[in-house]
Structure 1
């Protein structure tokens, strides 16, 4: 069915039963991921969920099939925009960077940034990732009880790695500020993004004042570093850190980033570049801690390929089983578990009518567990990602990096960082899970709602 055709041509979308007046509001607030999963199990691949009282009610058209995800993200991507309240809150807090911008703003930014994310350029960051991983591992030597929270530790590693790549020698000046301010701002975004009504940000409420103070501190340190870097390099691009390269990015058609635009890109890279990778690393380690046979197999591959040397970018292709482990962890725990869009025109998805203006939800959390693509979907099995197995599935049965023209520009960097870090960590330590059940929820990215502790032991030899 063509975009813009009458939405009435498709079948009516089944509705997840809620409670009178507010529908599924409380279910979504307490367990949105479980609610989406139940919706698919009860009603199929296109389900409508209502939430909120009359007059403030949201209607979510949830699409759970790989084919539907491909339609929304790729084949009909122009019909599905980032226009929902949640993205607006992220835009208002973290700026109009690649994650949140649209239309010509997005295209211009993508053209300016794309040359900085070629495979050759990204491969040059392998040394920085290895150095930050070694620093984290050195800290584990002092763990008296041999227990680490892999969620906390991988968040620290990923933040330091992306800060080093962005800022070079200015890592220490940013890490503490980001670590302190990001949780305040992201919680503020979530609360406002999922609330049916909000006070204006300018009103002096306690929540507004806390968020404004955190944003002022975060913006201030970024603005200071940007100004110092531009003054030191005179905009000539001399230097290998990403901030210097972003400041020097220009073209005759697209111009260059001004100071505010540069800060927006930096904030989005900090947000998207550390929380997502940290999630993938933490759950890969925790899953291996619960599956010693797969952990031993991964370690054997690492030892055989690397020996005692520091991993480098070329090793990404030499560690296929470790890459399969990572992909399976990203299937079970996708860092972006929910993706929202708004339909511009009426269309049809999976034989169901989706009207113009509809809020459309994709849920990798659900699609990655869809029994049509993933037999025994809750089982951890890296063999699902052999080349032969991948070739037998629809393209969008697995989409942790989104897809289509707005696919994550940093996906090669994320894979490179994750494989290098995992290789170094697993070569040095054995893992045994202390917390076997890790509750999670959907924030801006997937987040743990408790510790993910593992007992670690140095690997002999």
Structure 2
């Protein structure tokens, strides 16, 4: 018999729909207000009677550690959103579980060692140099940071995945992923989901986007299979995935290859794009921090292309990226289902409960961050990090399912930011930016900055 508090506090919501309106119209503001008003474990309900959903929001680093780390086996990726994500983009590392996940991780982990990932620095440098050349000719020097970083990150991850075949994929992914993401999100959080086979406008849009994405990936994979010698001589990630073998000779079949490619395209460009866009926007609005970052970039890069070895020589830029990830984590919310009843921060979480973690709120928790709304890269100086809870900052998740691409994301973000700061001055135009919740954190208003060649 537990002595914990069985009553979890939370907003009462409206009589018929609970907090559905708030979660639909302003989810991020609702999560932040829930932590402020009700504490580190909050119960929130949404939906009409008979279709009402109940969620338990966990904000404390200690609670996050239970869900992702010490009790990770009790919290599974089993709810409507992950069901929709699996159905739409496949059973890759982000969505798979149990034996499927363990098998995939064994096969793929060797492709994401630091040494292997450092080999992608040339592709990052090539794409950021192309971006810099284009910025020099932009009329008026005005660019939208969110759009520009999305394009850059997609081109970079496509080049790393597909090598010479990247151009074939970029246009299809850029056109289809946003539509498919909206479809996944709409179905994942809807109290009523029509069968996918029904010819509704949303189903048709979702099916068309999925069909186009599958087609381009299947086509490239099939062409590689017909040119095995080309794949064996290539160091792009698709070639390495194709050649990956387990100890008993196990490998990924074509459908599994496509699932992994789609997950890497989704996770590998949207998350990094978000971090880079906010890093640029924050620096554009904070001249003192920008000048400090530019001095470091100039000193280290000194008119040459960046290399993987430069990452360790750019500590302030690394702190800038980490601070951007703190204030605006790309994965601003993530969900799990509790298998068995457990206690988090003195509150009972019942078996079967839907549990939501909110990095956006935890990263701004005043018990763990002084002046949490302020942009301060030096929060991540080693001496200031030393006493901080491991899960006070977790943009890459944690525990046995921590993001496999952490080093790649940091390498791409820091090197790209270094080149852009070395080559351009920045001035913020849209100082306030509206945020939304998609599969990742979304910018719902212009995010314009003015860039001027130095």
TM-score interval, normalised by the smaller of the two chains:
over 0.9
Maintained 8 Å contact 1:7/1:355: no
Q: Does 1:219 align with 2:229?
A: no
Q: Does 1:58 align with 2:53?
A: yes
Once the two structures are superposed, residues 171-206 of structure 1 have per-residue CA deviations (whole angstroms, 9 ceiling, x without a partner) of: 110000001110110000010011001100011111
Once the two structures are superposed, residues 335-361 of structure 1 have per-residue CA deviations (whole angstroms, 9 ceiling, x without a partner) of: 000010000000000010000000001
2:113 to 110, 118, 125: 118
Once the two structures are superposed, residues 128-152 of structure 1 have per-residue CA deviations (whole angstroms, 9 ceiling, x without a partner) of: 0010011111111221111010110
Residue in 1 that maps onto 2:87: 92
Report 1:361-380 matches (<5 A).
361-380=356-375
* Cα distance in 2 for residues equivalent to 1:9 and 1:298: 48
Over aligned residue pairs, what C-alpha RMSD do you find? 1.2
Residue in 2 that maps onto 1:330: 325
* Cα distance in 1 for residues equivalent to 2:4 and 2:188: 32
Residue in 1 that maps onto 2:309: 314
Secondary structure of 1:337's counterpart equals coil
Residue in 2 that maps onto 1:353: 348
Instruction: Give how far 1:234 is off.
Output: 5.5
Maintained 8 Å contact 1:8/1:353: no
Q: Does 1:142 align with 2:137?
A: yes
* Cα distance in 2 for residues equivalent to 1:114 and 1:63: 29
Instruction: Give how far 1:250 is off.
Output: 1.3
* Cα distance in 2 for residues equivalent to 1:145 and 1:255: 55
Q: Structure 1 stretches of 5 or more lacking a match?
A: 1-5
Maintained 8 Å contact 1:31/1:441: yes
Report 1:39-78 matches (<5 A).
39-78=34-73
* Cα distance in 1 for residues equivalent to 2:293 and 2:4: 51
* Cα distance in 2 for residues equivalent to 1:7 and 1:213: 50
Maintained 8 Å contact 1:7/1:354: no
Pair 300,38 (structure 1): closer, same or farther in 2 beyond 3 Å: same
Q: Does 1:37 align with 2:54?
A: no
Residue in 2 that maps onto 1:199: 194
Pair 90,8 (structure 1): closer, same or farther in 2 beyond 3 Å: farther
* Cα distance in 1 for residues equivalent to 2:6 and 2:367: 22
2:100 to 100, 105, 121: 105
* Cα distance in 2 for residues equivalent to 1:80 and 1:209: 33
Residue in 2 that maps onto 1:182: 177
* Cα distance in 2 for residues equivalent to 1:83 and 1:45: 23
Q: Does 1:172 align with 2:167?
A: yes
Secondary structure of 1:48's counterpart equals strand
Residue in 2 that maps onto 1:269: 264
Residue in 2 that maps onto 1:433: 428
Instruction: Give how far 1:238 is off.
Output: 3.1
Secondary structure of 2:396's counterpart equals coil
1:343 to 314, 338, 341: 338
Secondary structure of 1:430's counterpart equals strand
